[in-house]
Structure 1
Amino acid sequence: MRVRKKPWADKYIKNHGDYIVTDPKNWLGKWQDRFAKVQPLNVEVGIGKGRFIIETARANPDINYIGIELQTSVIATALRSFMADPLPNVQFVLTDGANLDELFYENEIKKIFLNFSDPWPKKRHAKRRLTSPLFLKTYNHVLDQDGDIEFKTDNRGLFEYTLVTMNNFPMKFDYVSLDLHHSPENESNIETEYEQKFSPKGPIYKLIAHFTAS
């Protein structure tokens, strides 16, 4: 979906360089320098308007969070929300999340969040899905040996595809829910803006999985 360009976005990003990175490859191996403290590092790929990463970071001050987003207007909106009450354990990165292995060292990330990613429903676009084998290979490289992936979607087709690709990689599932909002885990679930809007229309699917030792 095309996002309408916000004329204020570029200037806003430039004026808040302490919290957002536009040259991520220059920070390879130096991400912890951008935070108040050296702590385990979690990454969300595709942050939307930022509610999930902001509230998750607020609830977990002992973890550092990086939110990656490709679209300038989207990340600027998230950054503006964040600046209302900034946190020392959050950084934003304006870039494509497709090549995490060019941004992070091996085993550098503890957890990757994939929330309501574009399902790319056409078969010829399957390689663009953030849980395709190509992406999983990249995540396997940057995740810590004890790290995992948390994935949420309202798209059943993408969820089923993800179960298959992760199982075949192979990965092991620590948690699978076909209706997150009617499960016990929903008590601690932090919703994205998209999730708040669309969950009344159908179930939210979630899984947590980790890579097996090679």
Structure 2
Amino acid sequence: MRVRHKPWAKEKIDQYPQYVVANPEQYKGKWHEVFGNNHPLHIEVGTGKGQFMTEMAKANPGINYMGIELYDSVIITALDRLIEADLPNLRLLNVNANDLAKYFAKNDVDQVYLNFSDPWPKGRHEKRRLTYKDFLKLYEEIMVDGGEIHFKTDNQGLFEYSLMSFSKYGLLLKYVSLDFHNSEYEGNIMTEYEEKFSEKGHRIYRCEVKYPN
């Protein structure tokens, strides 16, 4: 994905610390203070423009959501959505996913969403895939025992790789669909990429995996 630089984005992000959490490391182990409750916390790694997280937060007020996005020129659109919706159970983090353990402690997170992540198809880039074993270890370090990863992609190669990576790591497969939009699953909330790719006729793959208790 080529990101168009928006030089004003960082300044706007800094104006809304109530939505894009500033100094998130100070809330490690105590995110309940940000949300004002002890509801489960679900995070999306690579939240992009924020459509998925915004709609999930609207649909599930009893769950807290956190959208994590590295690029300020992308997360600014998610911020605009959140400003308009003013959802008490959604916050954003403008940070690198490699650093999740700096901001979340063990048991902080109940569920991780990986939606249409960069497939990094070249073998030498395997370690950058968000379903690579090192990332699976990182998620485990911040999640509750039995926490789940929900994964969606239109990339068959990445999906096959991810299923193998999950299996090798010892994750338990709860759900898998090789043609998700033609499945009987109800209540799906689409991302921007999901809408774009499905309109082009791309098959959508989805799975849910669980860490052992």
CA distance in 1 between counterparts of 2:49 and 2:198 reads 17
Show the counterpart of 1:181.
Answer: 181
CA distance in 2 between counterparts of 1:22 and 1:196 reads 31
Show the counterpart of 1:132.
Answer: 132
Show the counterpart of 1:38.
Answer: 38
Q: CA deviation at 1:86?
A: 0.9
The count of aligned residue pairs is 212
Question: 1:147-166 to 2 correspondence within 5 Å?
Answer: 147-166=147-166
Show the counterpart of 2:60.
Answer: 60
CA distance in 1 between counterparts of 2:189 and 2:9 reads 26
CA distance in 1 between counterparts of 2:137 and 2:36 reads 31
8 Å contact kept, 1:22–1:95:
no
Q: CA deviation at 1:30?
A: 2.7
Question: 1:81-120 to 2 correspondence within 5 Å?
Answer: 81-120=81-120
- In structure 1, the residue corresponding to 2:209 is in which secondary structure? strand
Q: CA deviation at 1:66?
A: 0.7
CA distance in 2 between counterparts of 1:28 and 1:66 reads 13
Match status 1:19 vs 2:19: yes
Query: Displaced runs of 4+ in structure 1, greater than 6 A?
Result: none
Q: Deviations over 1:167-202 (max 9, x none)?
A: 0111110000001100011x3100001100111331
8 Å contact kept, 2:29–2:106:
no
RMSD after superposition:
1.2
The letter for the 2-side match of 1:32 is H
Q: CA deviation at 1:209?
A: 0.3
8 Å contact kept, 2:19–2:82:
no
CA distance in 2 between counterparts of 1:132 and 1:89 reads 29
8 Å contact kept, 2:40–2:109:
yes
CA distance in 1 between counterparts of 2:74 and 2:22 reads 14
CA distance in 2 between counterparts of 1:22 and 1:133 reads 29
- In structure 1, the residue corresponding to 2:118 is in which secondary structure? coil
CA distance in 1 between counterparts of 2:23 and 2:117 reads 23
Which one is further off, 79-88 or 153-162?
79-88
CA distance in 2 between counterparts of 1:44 and 1:27 reads 18
8 Å contact kept, 1:36–1:88:
no
Show the counterpart of 2:205.
Answer: 205
Match status 1:51 vs 2:51: yes
8 Å contact kept, 2:119–2:129:
yes
- In structure 1, the residue corresponding to 2:146 is in which secondary structure? strand
Match status 1:4 vs 2:4: yes
Q: Deviations over 1:9-62 (max 9, x none)?
A: 122211111111242223212322111422111111011110100100111100
5+ long unaligned stretches in structure 2: none
- In structure 1, the residue corresponding to 2:203 is in which secondary structure? coil
Q: Deviations over 1:113-149 (max 9, x none)?
A: 0000000000000011000000011111211112100
CA distance in 2 between counterparts of 1:6 and 1:36 reads 33
5+ long unaligned stretches in structure 1: none
TM-score normalized by structure 2?
A: 0.95
